[in-house]
Amino acid sequence: MRNLRVVVSYDGTRYYGFQTQPGGNTIQDVIQDTIKKLSGEEVHIIGSGRTDAGVHARGQVFNFHTAAAIPVERWAIALNTRLPTDIVIRSVDEVEPEFHSSYSAKRKTYRYSIDMNKFPDVFERRYRFHHPTPLCVDGMRKGLAALVGTHDFSSFTSRRSTKTTHIRTVFEARIDEQDGKLDLFISGGGFLYNMVRVITGTLLLVGEGKLTADDVSVILEARDRSAAGPTAMAHGLNLWEVEYLE
């Protein structure tokens, strides 16, 4: 059995998220069905993490074990010709048997995209949250800086989180601004359920002047979801990159 690592990008608009569900129509279901059509195998693919309904990925990673004789360099093109056009395999390579897309991940980066123009860019409307009034980006940057480091992020995760610890490390974070569009990039060792979306929803309140940048530290210390802002819309979020020690 070979262990294959796959980098996949997808437009999450019409899917119920990455992880398989009883009703189907998830990225995992579609990919597993496609592998079955290709190799005849019933595989279980292991994602680096789930993404929610409507969330996109430029660089999601998964791995799976296969006994198929298909050469490694043929897998990507063979899958892409069978997948719907909103899921594209970017690369496939063979890794050590113990490689695990989730446990082996060292760093994940998410992007959250916002369009502050009065009217949205029609070509990015599925990927960029439209906020048609200006935001104080400097305030958002200051608030975001308060979250870098190792903290208990209980305020910034869904109440439905089942993790035993909410301590996570954010390595770096920044907000790029161009032509009235913001791209928030945040990199860390791992993220809690809804964490990037709750951070973004809170920073939007800072940008609107409803919270100050200093309030973000107070919210962090509260360790209480109700202290933070709303969960930002799914469609602005993109799992940008997952990195591993090679």
Judged by CB under 8 A, which of 4, 46, 61, 87 binds a copy of itself? 87
Q: Which is nearer to a copy of itself, 103 or 123 (CB)?
A: 123
Q: Is 225 in the site for a copy of itself (CB under 8 A)?
A: no
Q: Is 76 in the site for a copy of itself (CB under 8 A)?
A: yes
Q: Which is nearer to a copy of itself, 111 or 225 (CB)?
A: 111
Site string for a copy of itself, 40-69 (x = CB under 8 A): ----------------x-x-----------
- Whether 32 and 43 have beta carbons less than 8 Å apart is answered as yes
Q: Work out how close the CB of 211 gets to a copy of itself at its nearest, in angstroms, rounded to a whole number.
A: 27
Q: Work out how close the CB of 18 gets to a copy of itself at its nearest, in angstroms, rounded to a whole number.
A: 14
Rounded-to-integer distance, Cα 156 and Cα 224, Å: 8
Q: Work out how close the CB of 127 gets to a copy of itself at its nearest, in angstroms, rounded to a whole number.
A: 6
Judged by CB under 8 A, which of 9, 19, 21, 212 binds a copy of itself? 9
Q: Is 176 a catalytic residue?
A: no
Q: What is the DSSP string of the chain?
A: -EEEEEEEEE-GGGSS-SS--TT--SHHHHHHHHHHHHH------EESS---TT-EEEEEEEEEEE-----HHHHHHHHHTTS-TTEEEEEEEEE-TT--TTTTEEEEEEEEEEE-SSS--GGGTTTSEE--S---HHHHHHHHHTT-EEEE-GGGS-TT---S--EEEEEEEEEEEETTEEEEEEEES---TTHHHHHHHHHHHHHTTSS-HHHHHHHHHHT-GGGS-PPPPGGGEEEEEEEE--
∠83-85-89 over CA atoms, to 5°? 60
Q: Which is nearer to a copy of itself, 231 or 238 (CB)?
A: 238
- Is 244 annotated as belonging to a binding site? no
Q: Work out how close the CB of 209 gets to a copy of itself at its nearest, in angstroms, rounded to a whole number.
A: 22
Q: Is 11 in the site for a copy of itself (CB under 8 A)?
A: yes
Q: Is 125 in the site for a copy of itself (CB under 8 A)?
A: yes
List 11, 52, 115, 215, catalytic entry: 52
Q: Is 110 in the site for a copy of itself (CB under 8 A)?
A: no
Rounded-to-integer distance, Cα 195 and Cα 215, Å: 17
Catalytic residues: 52
Annotated binding site for substrate: 110
Per CB under 8 A, residues contacting a copy of itself are 9-11, 56, 58, 76-77, 80, 85-90, 118-123, 125, 127
